[in-house]
Chain A
Amino acid sequence: MNQHLLIAPILIPFVAGAVMLLSDDRRRVARFWLSLASVLALLGIAVRLLVQAKGDVPGSEAVYRLGDWAAPMAITLVLDHLSAMMLLLTAVLALASLIYAKASWDRQGQHFFPLFQFLLMGLNGAFLTGDLFNLFVFFEVMLAASYGLLLHGSGRGRVRSGLHYIAINLAASLLFLLGVSLIYGVTGTLNMAHLASIIADVAPTDRPLLHLGLSLLGVAFLIKAGCWPLSFWLPPAYTAAAAPVGAIFAIMTKVGVYVILRLSMLFFGATAGASAGFGGTVLIGLGLATTAFAILGVLGSQGMGRIAAHSMILSSGTVLAVVGFAVTGGHGWMLAGALYYLVASTLATAILFMLVEPASRDDGGSAAILALTAEIYGADAVRNLDETPDRLVIPAGLAVLGCCFGLGVLALAGLPPLPGFVGKMVMIQGALADASLSPALTWSFIGLLLASGLATLIALSRIGIQTFWASEGDAPPVMALEIAPVILLIAMLGALSLHSEAVLRYTDRTAERLLDAPRYGPRPLPAATEVTP
């Protein structure tokens, strides 16, 4: 039983989504409860897997071989510290945006809940898989669901940015396929652990081809991570998406970052022979450029949605730069800080995405949106609106919104006591402690990190003053279902900073495991030597 737990994060949303598709789309209440049950189950399993990964008993590597084939042949699922952490982050975000969607968003279009479940399936699969082609498949599952979710609610803006989003992602998927097939052509395997173990022995004449394949793969993931200059699709698409969709999309850019981190640590780590350190300086440069671009973007944006999208790029850029430092032989402590920061900033940007719509809603709140929906979907939506008198409007809505916004800003800008501060401090500490880095790079990284906090603070205080203090007329109604998930996420941020020592110990172990590439995946590799071409 216990060993099959590893595939549950993929199977549960898959089954839940498939069952939902069998029922009528108008049975939204039943669909919501099924989704909630699925997400709660995912949360429970993610916690259980995290504890298992943390226990780290030698000899009990959490490797799940699909179909029980021998190691390099089978498609494997691998659980380690990093994937357990990302699974938990996904489950928390999913719970929050699912509750948020219940407020009114699920009625704006069709099949919100099944698409949401398939998105979770793709995300969990991408975090767990130990095989490059399988990663492609899970990526496509995730992307196909995200296309539907991005277009949820329809409307001119969403369709137009959805068109760009799909075109970019289709092109990126083609690059991904090119990279994967080149790697297979050179090495004859797509199993990540197997690849990591043979990468040092690749013939010198083949190595440029292998590097080309891995770089193509890297470009595909940099597009998804929103790395400058491949990030121009991101702000329009994420701003146009419905609020709960934007919140769960906060983790989507992090999938790109996750794969870059995972693959660079596996293939270009210290044991990779002539490939060690490949692409590290490029990643540092791109990460720093992304951070600088996002600082300008945050300062130059007028709407809260665009600021939220640019802060997402900002956190991607920061983590990418640290990955670059780690590849070139940087300090594990810096990576630990970056992982901590990744969790904190993902939660904080999700909060911001959730606050955009309630804060900027003017007349009649979501009723106006629903009326618009009624035009598109006929009278059905209007009847649905009348049928739901259960929407609870909380008192002093604007004040509560303002407080949540303020806390979100503190977390994003990296001010104490929220965890953004701890993450940034640890990253700076790690950068300073590491003598092997060039001082110019270290100081530009530290400078950009501090400048990004300042820029976020300036931009968000400006928009906050406009929205919450200088707003005219009646305060918009705020629904309890919309504010509850925001408070849940803020509570998570609070818990993260209260227990930052324990979390940092965990991320430090994660970084240690990542820097030690041979410990990943199925070990020892049976039949590994026979299949080497």
Chain B
Amino acid sequence: MELILSLAIGILSASGIWLLLRPRSFQVIIGLCLLSYAVNLFIFSMGRLTLGAPAIMPKGGFVDPSRYADPLPQALVLTAIVIGFATTALFLVVMIAARGFTGTDHVDGKEGGPQ
């Protein structure tokens, strides 16, 4: 499982970085999305990988924390997803505005350089 997860994170971030450096604004936003997926998976994995373990402990008495997943990264990743979603939506609006103003989807607002 560790290998699959790290491969997934690695491939997602590699593709994300490559797309982020491309000149088209559509590629940039897809790159940012892929990168944020990679980061979210990464945060999630920082609570250690557990299978079938609940994150919420029952009330009262002694509970064995090793039988539960770490709830904090799950809370963090939820916050990160929400914030990332909102800022990406905002970025999309600005991108469309830029397309309207400049008539091109190049990130610099004008064509030029390798496509």
Which residues of A does B touch, CB under 8 Å? 133, 136-137, 140, 143-144, 147, 151, 154-156, 159-160, 162-164, 166-167, 170-171, 173-174, 177-178, 180-182, 184-185
Q: Is B6 an interface residue (CB 8 A)?
A: no
> What 9 A-B pairs have minimum CB-CB distances, sorted nearest first?
A185-B46, A181-B43, A181-B46, A156-B101, A160-B109, A159-B98, A140-B83, A174-B39, A159-B97
With a cutoff of 8 Å between Cβ atoms, the chain B residues found around residue A144 in the complex are 86-87, 90
Does A143 lie within 8 Å of B87, measured CB to CB? yes
Question: Cβ of A164: which chain B residues have Cβ within 8 Å of it?
Answer: 107
Q: CA–CA, A143 to B90, complex, Å?
A: 11
In the complex, the chain B residue whose C-beta lies closest to that of A169 is: B87
Of chain A, the residue at the smallest CB distance from B91 is A166
Q: List 10 contacting pairs A-B, 8 Å CB cutoff, sorted by A.
A: A140-B83, A144-B86, A151-B94, A159-B98, A160-B102, A164-B107, A167-B20, A170-B32, A177-B80, A184-B73
Q: Which of B57-91 touch A at CB < 8 Å?
A: 72-73, 76, 79-80, 83-84, 86-88, 90-91
Question: Which of B36, B39, B76, B95 is A163 in contact with, Cβ under 8 Å?
Answer: B95
In the assembly, what is the distance between CA of A147 and CA of B93, in Å? 11
**Residues of chain A lying within 8 A (CB to CB) of residue B90:** 144, 147, 166
Q: Which residue of A lies closest to B43 (CB)?
A: A181
Residue of A nearest to B40 (CB): A177
Q: Are A160 and B108 in contact (CB under 8 A)?
A: yes
Q: Are A163 and B46 in contact (CB under 8 A)?
A: no
A414 to B83, CA, bound (A): 41
Interchain nearest-CB distance for A155 vs B (Å):
8
Nearest chain-A residue to B16 (Cβ)? A174
Q: Which residue of B lies closest to A73 (CB)?
A: B72
Q: Are A147 and B94 in contact (CB under 8 A)?
A: yes
Question: What is the interface of chain A mostly: helix, strand, loop, or mixed?
Answer: helix
Q: Residues of A contacting B42 with CB < 8 Å? A: 178, 181
Among A133, A147, A160, A163, max chain B CB count under 10 A is at A163
Q: How far is the CA of A133 from the CA of B97 in the complex (A)?
A: 32
Contact between A167 and B32, CB atoms less than 8 A apart: yes
With a cutoff of 8 Å between Cβ atoms, the chain B residues found around residue A180 in the complex are: 43, 76
Not counting A133-B76, A136-B80, A160-B101, a sample of 14 additional A-B residue pairs whose C-beta atoms are within 8 angstroms of each other reads A133-B79, A137-B83, A140-B87, A144-B86, A144-B90, A147-B90, A151-B97, A159-B98, A163-B98, A166-B94, A171-B20, A171-B32, A174-B39, A182-B46
Contacts of A177 in B (CB 8 A): 39, 43, 80
C-alpha gap A180/B79 in the complex (Å): 13
Residues in chain A near residue B35, CB distance under 8 A: 171, 174
Residues of B within 8 A of A (CB): 20, 25, 28, 32, 35-36, 39, 42-43, 46-47, 72-73, 76, 79-80, 83-84, 86-88, 90-91, 94-95, 97-98, 101-102, 107-109
User: How far, in angstroms, from A159 to B91 measured CA to CA in the complex?
Assistant: 11
Residues of B within 8 A of A136 (CB): 80
B19 to chain A, nearest CB (A): 12
Contact check, B73 vs A160: say whether CB atoms are below 8 A apart.
Answer: no
Bound Cα distance from A155 to B101, whole angstroms: 8
Bound-state CA distance A163–B42 (Å) is 27
Is B98 touching A174 in the complex (CB atoms < 8 A)? Answer: no
Considering the chains assembled together, what is the distance between the CA atoms of A163 and B95 in angstroms?
7
Complex Cα–Cα for A219 and B95 (A)? 26
Chain B residues with CB below 8 A from A151, complex form: 94, 97
Contact A167 B91 (CB under 8 A): yes
A163 CA to B35 CA in the complex, in Å? 18
Interface centre among B20, B87, B108 (most CB of A within 10 A): B87
Complex CA distance for A170 and B76, rounded to whole angstroms = 17
Chain A residues with CB under 8 Å of B83's CB are: 137, 140, 173
In the docked arrangement, what's the CA distance between A177 and B47, Å?
A: 14
Interface pair B109/A156, CB less than 8 Å apart:
yes
> In the complex, A147→B108 CA distance in Å?
18
Chain B residues closer than 8 Å to A171, beta-carbon distance: 20, 32, 35
Chain A residues near B25 (CB-CB < 8 A): 163
Q: How far is the CB of B84 from chain A (nearest CB, A)?
A: 8
User: In the bound complex, do residue B87 and residue A178 qualify as a contact, i.e. CB atoms below 8 Å apart?
Assistant: no
* Least CB distance, A122 to chain B, in whole angstroms: 12
Contact A160 B39, CB 8 Å, known A137-B79, A166-B90, A181-B46: no
Enumerate chain B residues within 8 angstroms of A182, measured Cβ to Cβ: 46
Inter-chain contacts of A156 with B (CB < 8 A): 101-102, 109
> A160 — which chain B residues lie within 8 A by C-beta?
98, 101-102, 108-109
Residues of A within 8 Å of B109, CB to CB, are: 156, 160
Chain A residues near B102 (CB, 8 Å)? 156, 160
8 Å CB contact of A181 from B76, B94, B95, B101:
B76
A184 touches B79 (CB 8 A): no
CA distance A73 to B97 in the complex (A): 43
Let me know if A170 and B94 touch, CB within 8 A. Answer: no
Closest to A167 in B: B28
> A140–B46 Cα gap in the complex (Å)?
22
Given known contacts A167-B28, A174-B39, A159 and B94 CB-to-CB distance under 8 angstroms: yes
Given contacts A147-B90, A160-B101, contact A184 B72 (CB under 8 A): yes
A506 to B96, CA, bound (A): 49
Complex interface: chain B residues within 8 A of A162 (CB): 94, 98
Q: How far is the CA of A140 from the CA of B86 in the complex (A)?
A: 10
Q: Which chain A residues border B87 with CB–CB below 8 Å? A: 140, 143-144, 147, 166, 170, 173
Across the interface, which residues of A come within 8 angstroms of B97, CB to CB? Answer: 151, 154, 159
CB-defined contacts of B101 to chain A, threshold 8 Å: 155-156, 159-160
Across the interface, which residues of A come within 8 angstroms of B72, CB to CB? 184
